[in-house]
Structure 1
Amino acid sequence: MVVLAASITSKSGKALVSRQFVDMSRIRIEGLLAAFPKLIGSGKQHTYVETENVRYVYQPMEGIYLLLVTNKQSNILEDLDTLRLLSKVPEFSASLDEEIICKHAFELIFAFDEVISLGHKENVTVAQVRQYCEMESHEERLHKLVLQSKINDTKDVMKRKANEIDKSKIERGKLEKGGYSSLQSMSSMGSIGRMDASLSNDMGISSGNTFGGGSGFGITSEVDNFSSKPKGRPSAAVGAPTKGMGMKLGKSQRTNQFLESLKAEGEMIVEDVRPSANPSKAAAAPPTDPVTLTVEEKLNVTLKRDGGLSNFDVQGTLSLQILNQDDGFIQVQIESVGNPEIKFKTHPNINKELFSNENILGSKDPNRPFPAGQSGDGLGLLKWRMQSKDESAVPLTINCWPSVSGNETYVSIEYEASSMFDLQNVVISVPLPALREAPNVRQIDGEWSGSMEFVVPPADTSVFFPISVGFSATSTFSNMKVANIVPLKGGAAPKFSQRIQLVTESYQVV
């Protein structure tokens, strides 16, 4: 017996999968397969049909034919036995649909090759064919192990480098502790001025002030203009702190000397507290309750300096931390605003149908508890994302208008906070050119909205950008909240606490 070709053909005559086993031209094989539908008569019970040169042995299978093309000298009984074995090969395809068969064409061809070799049937079973097709290469497995080892080594090197960088930052911070560097040295390193709500026009020395009636719009300021300050009375920042906005520029050496001289004369001076570089990303206290759930949204916003919104992206997560493994047999019921712009995605092990129908986050396997002792941010149960082109969704808008007039550059800044959030720990950082003197702050006012203006020597207006903003809030765009904890094994639900925060990851005016 010699099998010339094997094919899976639709009833319309289209060859879905075909394999040639002997040396014949492609045109010859295509001609034999194209002639097959014309040779099948209706109502016939035969499973083969012959022509002058070849024999077609076939088997109908739903809407397709499994076809062998052999020479006329082959044994018909062997042909039928081979056909029966090949009829079980399509189990490598999910179904006998034409689209699915074409999708698994390579798997079927590999199976044909295991059954027929050089036109002759191999002595194999279906189980052996399956085993041969699933066999993996030892060299490939070894290559993957070597590649993974290299990846792990690279990660270890990255961790060591990161630790070295962190240590150098800590040592550098210790050297700088006890006072600020001079304004000139800070400017030469590309220092960034920070805005604060504690500038007093007649004094120019900051006090810890807030934005929005104690909401924490923290913007500190220090200026070098003390000539107009009267002596013999407390600083104006002590009795009536200004709810406005200023700049953090850093103290120059001359300013420090002047402050020391004022203190020696008995003047009451209120020193400001230097804010952290990114107050919106302060480390959270470790959990103390048996179950802690954290709702966090990270805000990425890019505003255009000429007005308008370039990018607005909110990415949120709901994380779970459990102290004791016995408290892991729970489900979490949540509440959220029905905003169609927010797209939710659950953890792969979460029951998606339960979440979609009842807003409950539970494991697919009720007998499998949530893991305890999660370090860092905990186990992420739910993620969501919101993008918008609507400028009204921005919590804080900043407008900066630098202009050069004569030998001075006037920089006017307007800010306005939205009423949707109570912003806290707000820091607005404005880049400055290299200066020998502190900027002269001419005007500052406002609480939820306001403005300020400062003057520096002539400079290119582009040096005042990008302006970076950092803040936090205790409410989110999704209004995601944990409503209840449902125990799965009866009894009282474990005590739980939840943390809700909105922080800025990247918030700039460019």
Structure 2
Amino acid sequence: MSRIRIEGLLAAFPKLVGTGKQHTYVKTENVPEYSPSLDEEGVCKTAFELIFAFDEAISLGNKENVTVQQVKQYCEMESHEEKAHKLMMQSKINETRDVMKKKASELDKMRMERGELDKGGYSSISGPRVIEKTFNDMSITGSGFGSGSGLGGLGMDMDSFASKPKRGEVILEDVQPSSVQSRASPLPPSDPVTVTIEEKLNVTVKRDGGVNNFDVQGTLALQVLNDADGFIQLQIENQDVPGLSFKTHPNINKDLFNSQQVVGAKDPNRPFPSGQNETPLVKWRIQGMDESSLPLSVNCWPSVSGSETYVNIEYEAAEMFDLHNVVISIPLPALREAPSVRQIDGEWKYDSRNSVLEWSILLIDQSNRSGSMEFVVPPADPSTFFPISIGFSTSSTFSDLKVTGIRPLKDGNPPKYSQRARLFSFFMK
């Protein structure tokens, strides 16, 4: 819908509702984009999708200049962020499981050397197996991650990644929910003040080179645990990136920010909000970058030979970032069985329900800036393998924005603070 149409609907809203009771929806046939039906049941079923879509269209109470297609892309990007986060958490669980197995083996060896084992005592076989079973039962599930981002639930079975050997072999599953005996959750902040700097990269790449859309959106959010620590100002700095533009919260002193790059409240007697939630203070956008700025490029080369189609895919990562939890998803034709993967740098999984081959690389750094995969399927049109979606995360950002210090507005030392930066990416080719 056009902006004028949306404003017209908002203006007509009070006239469409009666008095004496609350209203959660308005019956109109012009806004069915994210809801299958416009009754209360339909809105409830897609409540989260609607909230996330509104979050992209409205920022700090103001309307964003975005199209419906951009809102769809941003929501898809945020869904991938949660997938990448869960992959990272599952990899940590796997590492812990390996450490526990090693420790158990060392304990067995020590007890055997001391002669503490007998026929009816502790077994050097049972110990590691019990620990392995305990950690194999762990998986990451849930819907929601971080703060200030709209993320819906995912129908992704993380156990399939956890159970794979490191050589890249596949475990065929129909992506069903698994039972959860332990749920990993992020640790609460330990410092009085926590700064989160986050960027989201959204790109649409042409198959023959070039980009249709290259958009980076960033947010600086603040979390203050106690009211007394909220009387502060943040000194920031960032790289001089072409096309970078900032937008501050209405309660932030804009002149102070523009002249000194200091994030402070308009009213110095009013502290930043405290509690367990993050408060977004500054947003920014980077536009105008081209394909040379992409952290990762992917090329796909399908070719039909007789009764088979050979598909070669290669990636090449730029030197600027180390990439974590890379997932490259390739759509496939409807298959009766999994594709035959001949060669791969990383791991793969076939989602038979959605007919998608997922190529995952936990880390791309200086040791593996390029990699490839080859698989074979029955004859198929080359366009079947597009669009390819790529997602990853990294602890670096395009703007390289960071907090360099905290200024207290009252007597005393500034509170201790920590900061974290991360970039999430979801783009299609």
TM-score norm. by structure 2 comes to 0.56
Equivalent in 398, 405, 414 of residue 305 of structure 2: 405
1:66-465 correspondence to structure 2 within 5 Å: 146=19, 149-151=22-24, 160-162=44-46, 207-208=165-166, 220-222=168-170, 250-251=171-172, 284-373=186-275, 375=277, 378-445=278-345, 447-465=368-386
* Alpha-carbon distance in structure 2 between the residues aligned to 1:477 and 1:359: 18
* Alpha-carbon distance in structure 2 between the residues aligned to 1:326 and 1:156: 43
In structure 2, the partner of 1:496 is 417
* Alpha-carbon distance in structure 1 between the residues aligned to 2:161 and 2:259: 47
With CA pairs under 8 Å and 6+ residues apart, which has the higher RCO, 1 or 2? 2
Match for 2:375: what amino acid?
F
* Alpha-carbon distance in structure 1 between the residues aligned to 2:43 and 2:403: 35
Equivalent in 400, 406, 413 of residue 479 of structure 1: 400
Percent identity between the aligned chains? 56
* Alpha-carbon distance in structure 2 between the residues aligned to 1:406 and 1:423: 38
Could you say what secondary structure the match of 1:357 adopts? helix
In structure 2, the partner of 1:56 is none
Could you say what secondary structure the match of 1:150 adopts? coil
Deviations 1:123-143 (A, max 9, x none): xxxxxxxxxxxxxxxxx9898
Could you say what secondary structure the match of 2:23 adopts? helix
Match for 1:478: what amino acid?
S
Query: Cα distance 1:361–1:395, how it changes in 2: closer, same or farther (>3 A)?
Result: same
* Alpha-carbon distance in structure 1 between the residues aligned to 2:335 and 2:194: 49
Query: Cα distance 1:305–1:492, how it changes in 2: closer, same or farther (>3 A)?
Result: same
Deviations 1:38-94 (A, max 9, x none): xxxxxxxxxxxxxxxxxxxxxxxxxxxxxxxxxxxxxxxxxxxxxxxxxxxxxxxxx
Match for 1:462: what amino acid?
S
Deviations 1:305-340 (A, max 9, x none): 222212110000000111111111111111111223
Query: Cα distance 1:414–1:206, how it changes in 2: closer, same or farther (>3 A)?
Result: same
In structure 2, the partner of 1:130 is none
* Alpha-carbon distance in structure 2 between the residues aligned to 1:440 and 1:142: 61
* Alpha-carbon distance in structure 2 between the residues aligned to 1:158 and 1:332: 44
Match for 2:45: what amino acid?
K
Query: Cα distance 1:461–1:386, how it changes in 2: closer, same or farther (>3 A)?
Result: same
Deviations 1:419-452 (A, max 9, x none): 1001011111111222233322233359211222
- Kept in 2, the 8 Å contact 1:307–1:399? The answer is no
Deviations 1:138-168 (A, max 9, x none): xx98988859943479998677425799xxx
Alpha-carbon shift at residue 454 of structure 1 (Å): 1.1
In structure 2, the partner of 1:467 is 388
Alpha-carbon shift at residue 361 of structure 1 (Å): 0.4
Query: Cα distance 1:288–1:161, how it changes in 2: closer, same or farther (>3 A)?
Result: farther
* Alpha-carbon distance in structure 1 between the residues aligned to 2:343 and 2:166: 19
Match for 1:458: what amino acid?
P
* Alpha-carbon distance in structure 2 between the residues aligned to 1:424 and 1:355: 33
In structure 2, the partner of 1:256 is none
* Alpha-carbon distance in structure 2 between the residues aligned to 1:142 and 1:413: 56
Deviations 1:382-428 (A, max 9, x none): 00001124111111001011121110001111110011001011111
In structure 1, the partner of 2:3 is none
Structure 1: unaligned runs, 5 residues or longer: 1-139, 166-176, 179-190, 199-204, 210-219, 223-249, 254-273, 277-281
* Bigger Rg over Cα: 1
* Alpha-carbon distance in structure 2 between the residues aligned to 1:142 and 1:438: 56
* Alpha-carbon distance in structure 1 between the residues aligned to 2:16 and 2:337: 63
Number of aligned residues: 273
TM-score norm. by structure 1 comes to 0.48
* Alpha-carbon distance in structure 1 between the residues aligned to 2:296 and 2:161: 15
- Kept in 1, the 8 Å contact 2:210–2:290? The answer is no
Structure 2: unaligned runs, 5 residues or longer: 1-12, 27-37, 50-135, 138-154, 179-183, 346-366
Match for 2:410: what amino acid?
K
* Alpha-carbon distance in structure 1 between the residues aligned to 2:321 and 2:18: 51
* Alpha-carbon distance in structure 2 between the residues aligned to 1:325 and 1:390: 44
* Alpha-carbon distance in structure 2 between the residues aligned to 1:312 and 1:449: 22
Alpha-carbon shift at residue 500 of structure 1 (Å): 0.5
* Alpha-carbon distance in structure 2 between the residues aligned to 1:341 and 1:402: 36
* Alpha-carbon distance in structure 1 between the residues aligned to 2:242 and 2:14: 46
Match for 1:291: what amino acid?
V
* Alpha-carbon distance in structure 1 between the residues aligned to 2:414 and 2:369: 42
Deviations 1:204-243 (A, max 9, x none): x95347xxxxxxxxxx542xxxxxxxxxxxxxxxxxxxxx
